[in-house]
Each structure stands twice: as structure tokens, then as C-alpha cells.
Amino acid sequence: MDYHSMSGQQSTAKSLPARTFHALCLAALLLVVSGCGGGESNVSLGNRTGTLHWGNGTEPQSLDPHIATGVPEHHIITSLMEGLVLKDSTTLAPIPGVAESWDVSDDGRVYTFHLRQNARWSNGDPHIAQDYVWSWWRALQPALGNLYAYMYYSINNAQEYYEGTITDFDQVGVKALDDYTLQVTLENPTPYFLQLLDHYSLFPVHQATVEKFGTADERGTRWTYEGNIVTNGPFQLLEWQINSRVVVERNPFYWDAENVGLNKIIFYPTENAVSEERMFRSGQLHYTNDVPTDKIPVYRNEGNPSLRVAPYLGSYFYRINTNVPHLQDKRVRRALAMAIDREQITEHILQAGQMPTYALTPPGTMGYYPKSDLTFDPEAAKQLLAEAGYPNGEGFPVTEILYNTNESHRKVAVAIQQMWNKYLNIEIKLLNQEWKVYLDSESAGQYTISRASWIGDYVDPNSFLDLFLCNGGNNRTGWCNAEYDRLILDVAPKMKSHEERLAVFQEAETLLLDAMPMIPIYIYTSKHLMNSSVKNHNGNLLDQTTFKELTLESDSSDSTGGNH
């Protein structure tokens, strides 16, 4: 009846299935072994053929420069397209791009660009000044949904045109004087204007191609797909396989084609930094988009030259909702800011050379070094909190830190939670939300304290300080100071000299830090792994890569990095 009765037949019972099982194990083993035999790695193959394998973070949302918004898109688009001006890959100073030279009027408001006669689109069409007028007109069509339209606002009447108060584009300060001369008139002398021209939102697009696949202001036509897109940069699009790869190849019509060092670049959507690091280690990538935090000390202790860490123009801070009753008192906000041991966070948790900061703007932004009276001082913080009516943290309501789901945000929040508890004796809860929910909560003001960061669009204090304007969509703290707005919007743009302008920014930043609607925590670093065969790659503050300068050296193909 039960299986004990089977015992008499065990010997036969064993034979068939057991044999099948062993055979299957063997088959599985063979399957595994047959797959081996190595083959050449991407990196060493790429070094011979001039193909760069680039870890690019995520699948690009769009390759239309007037629609795209992210860093991964930035890499691909800058390989395909070029603006009037490029940036020096080390100093970020403007250098000639499509424009071989330019003149600036004495009042700093009128720029005249002289375009290269030999500039061509990738289909051989001549590339002329009118292309810019049309492209910039297109970028300012609201129907297109261009999130970077504000990059144009320094141009005379661009904001008015975009917002519909002016309907005639001729009034906007862009004019093609002839085929090779473009004149741009600005609203105010804008010291960082030339930098903006290297941002993809001001890149030109090929009118005939865009219009072949739809109207100019139609979002999501097929003009950017492989086989369709026509561009003006060092490379042209060869292949775009969704979630798999984007391949670009040398563009023979590029004005500087002979100085382009690579034949091909393959961009991979490497979402997971841990997987990406393994791809790098096994020679599948020349360059990674990121390095997992826990791997940084390992590479560093090995002295592995693949690790590339550089300061990055980005600030990590906590927003404080100043409408929450117990956070309305600035003494409370300052007490919280003073009770964070930033050195501990950057040194022991983040470990990638991030710099503790006590101000919003990263130091050295266009020669601007913000002064701040904020320090790590738990005793003073405690006293300040007592003055605000919470001696030894008594009676302080439970306060929540909101952050979006992410390993490093979690680590920082856990550490700060513990610091505030230890130094101020207050109870802190953590609230982790999925990205879109977090965005919703933050912009609706449904948070108490929230993790935030800001990456500069261009190297100028303005890129950071205009965050906390009263009506700024990115303020989200409820803090509003008329004097601050006046300094940023009216005073700073009118300043004649750079030093005077920086002094105004310092004044504004002091106001901000005194009220402390945000708690500065650290300044970002960019972190990548790069194979030693990649040459001429210079790190810079914006973490931008000039793809046309890169070359690959085949000798050093096997130095992917040590084993660990």
C-alpha cells in the first residue's frame, strides 16, 4: 500500500530515472563547456578596429536634441551633433565648433558667429546659418514639449516668444546675416552664453529630414531613427536597437573628419552599475557610466588606474518644507544643518571623494567660492534647538526624511537619521518612495524633509542659485525672499564685471544659507571605470566627453584591471 512495499523493487526503480538524471547532468555540463573557448573580448577587438564600447546608463528616451533631457541622451547626441561652439575638454573654455570664430559687441549683448564654409550635414548637404534660425524656432514651439526651452531665455525675446506674448519670431534675437554669418542678440550680457551653445538643446537639426517625417513641432516622429536621421557631428547613427545598443560610426562629411580618432562607438544601456562593473572587468566595456560605491575602495586600494574620479558640478542637499509648523523657525532648520557630520558621510559611506559642503553652489564654479558660516557643531545645534523651544529635543515632533528608492540615498538618510537622533535627541523616520511618487510628493509639498540634488546645466552660480526663486518650479520648499529674487533676477545680470557679479551671488547665497530652507550636504564627484587603452579622455567639471578627440591604443588591450 505505502511506499515501503516498494523496497523489493528498488534496484529496478533506481536504474532508469537515475540514469536519465546522470545523463542530463552530463548534457548540462557539456552545454556549459561548449559555450566556452573565450573568443576575443570586446575591448581588445575594439582596440584593433577603432570601436569604443561605452556604458551609457539607460536606454535613450529620444535622440531629438529638442526633446531629449538626460545624460545618456547627452552622450549619444553630442557624438552625432555639434553646436556653434564646443568646450575645451579640460578647461571647458569655449572653442570653435561649427562656428570657426565669433565677435562680441562691446556691451556684451550681440554675438556674431562666422560659420565654417566646409561644414556639412551627414548626407552632404551644406550646413548654413539659416539652419540655426529654423532649428531654434523649432525648439521654441510649445507643442514640441521641449523641457530645455529655458536654455534659450538669455536670447532677446525668446522667453516672450515661447510664452506667447510675442508671436513674431523675427523679433527674437536670432538672424542669419548671410549663409555663413549668424547674429544673436541677448537680453542681458550673459557671461555663460557661449557655454549654452554646447548644450544639445541649442544644437541644429536638419530641416528637410525633420519635415520629411512630420511637421516641425510634432513630437515623436521617426526622423531620429536609424536610416532616417541626418546630423552634423563627428559621427552618424548606424544602428539603434532598443534596450540593446546604439551604434554610431564616423561621419565622412564632418568638417574635422580627419581628426576624429574612432571609427565606431557602441553605447550600451547599462542600468545596473553592479552588472556594468562586471562587464567592464570581463573586457566588454571600455568605459562605465558609474561605479558601485562599494567597489570604489577596492579599486582604490589596488591602485587600479581604471578608476576615474573627478569633481562634478552637482550639489546634494536636503530640502526643508518651510510650511511644516515645527520647521518654520529658521533656528530649527539651522540646528538640523549643524548636526550633520558631513565628513563621516563622504568618507565612510560614499567613499568616492565627494566633498562635504556648507553652501549650495559647488566651490570653484566660474571662480566663485561661496562663503558660509555653517559648520558641524552639535553643541551649538543643541543650543539653537533649545532656544527654539525644544531643550534636549524634548517635544520635537517625529520628523520624516523622504528619499527616492536608491541605495546611496538610503545610506545617507540612515546615517543622518542616526546623527540627528544622537546629537539632537530627536526622533526621525525614513520614508522611501518610488521615483514618480517621490516627485509628486515633493512638488506638491507633501513632505517634511526631502532628499534632493541639482546638477548644473552650465558652469555658473546662476545655474544653482535660481533654484530658490520664489516662483521657481524647482524651489518646492515654500521659502520665498523678495530680496533674494531681486539679487538673482535684476541685480546680477546687470553687473558689468565678473567680480561684481560674483559678489551679488555671494550676497544672495548668504541670504539663502541664513534662512536654510535647504541643508547642503556634499558636492558630487563623477566616477567611472575606463580602460587604459582609451586615450585623450580628460575629466572635467561637467563630466562631458568630447568623443571626436578619443583614440584607442591597441597595445594595452589586456589591462582591464586587476582581479579582486
Partner 1 sequence: MFRFAINRLLQAIPVLLVVISITFLLVHSAPGGPFSADKAVPPEVLKALEAQYKLDQPLWQQYVGYLNDVLHGDFGPSFKYPGRTVNELIASGLPATAELAFYAMLVALFIGASAGVVAATRPNTLQDYLPMSAAMLGICMPSFLLGPLLVLVFGIHLEWVPVSGWGDSAGDKILPAITLGTGYAAYIARLSRGGMLEVLSQDYIRTARAKGLPESLIIAKHALRGGLIPVIAFIGPAFAGLLGGSFVVETIFQIPGLGRFYVQAAFNRDYTMILGTTIFFATLIIVFNLLSDMLAIWLNPKLRQEARGDH
Partner 2 sequence: MDRVILEKTDERGSSLWQDAWVKLRKNRLALWGLAVLVILCVVSLLTPWIAPYGYEEQDLILGATPPSAEHWLGTDIFGRDMLTRIMYGGRVSLTVGFIATGVALIIGVLWGAIAGFAGGRVDAVMMRIVDILYALPFMIFIVLLMVVFGRNIFLLFFAIGAVEWLTMARIVRGQVMALRKQEFVEAAYSLGLSQWIIIRRHIIPNTLGPVIVYTTLTIPSVMLLEAFLSFLGLGIQPPQSSWGLLISYGVETMEEFPWLLIFPGLTLSLTLFALNFLGDGLRDALDPRTSKD
- As a whole number of angstroms, the distance between CA 77 and CA 95 comes to 19
DSSP state of 123: T
Binding mask 393-432 for partner 2 (x = CB under 8 A): ------------x-x--xx-xxx-xx----------xxxx
How many residues in the shown chain lie near partner 2 by CB under 8 A?
A: 31
Write down the least CB distance from residue 563 to partner 2, Å.
Answer: 10
Contact pick of 18, 24, 208, 274 for partner 2 (by CB under 8 A) = 274
Contact pick of 24, 437, 439, 470 for partner 2 (by CB under 8 A) = 437
Distance of CA 493 to the CA centre of its chain: 26
Contact assessment for residue 361 and residue 462, using Cβ atoms and an 8 Å cutoff: no
3-state SS assignment for residue 419: helix
Any contact of residue 446 with partner 2 (CB under 8 A)?
Answer: no
| Residue 410 binding result from partner 2, partner 1, none, given CB thresholds of 5 to 8 Å by partner type | partner 2
Nearer to partner 1, 122 or 560 (CB): 560
Write down the least CB distance from residue 243 to partner 1, Å.
Answer: 4
State the sign of the Cα–Cα–Cα–Cα dihedral 540, 42, 552, 230. negative
Contact positions with partner 2 (CB under 8 A) in 17-46: none
Nearer to partner 1, 150 or 192 (CB): 150
Compute φ and ψ for 324, nearest 5 degrees.
-75, 125
- As a whole number of angstroms, the distance between CA 531 and CA 47 comes to 10
Write down the least CB distance from residue 72 to partner 1, Å.
Answer: 13
Which DSSP string corresponds to 518-534? EEEEEEEEEEEEB-TTE
Any contact of residue 292 with partner 2 (CB under 8 A)?
Answer: yes
Nearer to partner 2, 117 or 418 (CB): 418
Secondary structure of 270-334 as H, E, C letters: CCCHHHHHHHHHCCCCCECCCCCHHHHHHHHHHCCCCEEEEEEEEEEEEEECCCCHHHCCHHHHH
Write down the least CB distance from residue 376 to partner 2, Å.
Answer: 13
Q: Which of 282, 246, 283 is nearest to 265 (CA)?
A: 246
Write down the least CB distance from residue 232 to partner 2, Å.
Answer: 41
Write down the least CB distance from residue 360 to partner 1, Å.
Answer: 16
Nearer to partner 2, 23 or 437 (CB): 437
Rounded (to 5) percent helix, strand, coil in the chain: 40, 20, 40
- As a whole number of angstroms, the distance between CA 321 and CA 324 comes to 6
Binding mask 314-343 for partner 2 (x = CB under 8 A): ------------------------------
Write down the least CB distance from residue 525 to partner 2, Å.
Answer: 18
- As a whole number of angstroms, the distance between CA 516 and CA 359 comes to 10
* Residues found near partner 2 in the complex (CB under 8 A): 1-4, 274, 292, 294-295, 297-298, 344-345, 348-349, 405, 407, 410-411, 413-415, 417-418, 429-434, 437, 564
